[in-house]
């Protein structure tokens, strides 16, 4: 299982990477939105953990670009945020194609559970039809 984490906080990124790798999950980390969008376009990941609040090119910008390219619904994107996202914003992101929201501060059990649901459902890149 392959996860892409787009997160600009190095400490959080390292903790998430170590946690996921302890669960036999490969975790690639990028620290800014533009590089994250390039990684999404270039490679197939089973799950994308997307921080919303990043400088210059945010997670919102990534969602907007993927939606404009009609790619958002085909990706397993979990919003990964400490931002105060309103219920309306969260509903809009989910109706546009994001698959869930994981709030910071992070519960390791919630993180593992959210990622594992894609492995268990077979909804990962090997299982796409």
Q: Which domains does the chain have, with CATH numbers?
A: 2-124 (3.40.50.2300)
Who contacts 110 (Cβ-Cβ below 8 Å, separation ≥6)? Answer: 102
Look up residue 116 and give its two tokens. Answer: 């594992």
Q: What is the pLDDT of residue 105?
A: 86
pLDDT of residue 129: 23
Mean pLDDT of successive 10-residue segments in the chain (129 residues)? Answer: 96 95 95 97 96 92 95 92 81 90 88 88 49
Sign of CA dihedral 68, 73, 79, 84: positive
Q: What is the pLDDT of residue 120?
A: 80
In angstroms, the CA 78 to CA 65 distance is: 16
User: What pLDDT is stored for residue 16 in this prediction?
Assistant: 95
What pLDDT score does 48 carry?
A: 97
The DSSP secondary-structure symbol of 22 reads T
- What residues are paired with 101 via a beta bridge? 79
| CA distances in angstroms from 11 to 8, 15, 18, listed in the order given | 9, 6, 11
d(CA 84, CA 86): 6
Partners of 5 in the β-ladder: 29, 49
In this prediction, residue 39 carries a pLDDT of 97
């Amino acid at each position: 299982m392959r996860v892409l984490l787009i997160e600009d906080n190095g400490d959080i990124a390292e903790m998430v990477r170590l946690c996921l790798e302890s669960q036999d999950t490969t975790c690639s980390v990028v620290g800014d939105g533009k590089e994250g969008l390039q990684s999404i376009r270039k490679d197939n990941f089973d799950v994308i953990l997307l921080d919303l609040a990043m400088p210059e090119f945010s997670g919102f910008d990534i969602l907007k670009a993927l939606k404009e390219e009609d790619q958002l619904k085909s990706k397993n994107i979990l919003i990964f945020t400490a931002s105060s996202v309103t219920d309306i914003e969260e509903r809009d992101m989910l109706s546009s194609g994001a698959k869930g929201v994981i709030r910071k501060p992070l519960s390791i059990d919630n993180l593992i559970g959210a990622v594992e649901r894609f492995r268990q459902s077979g909804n990962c890149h090997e299982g796409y039809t």
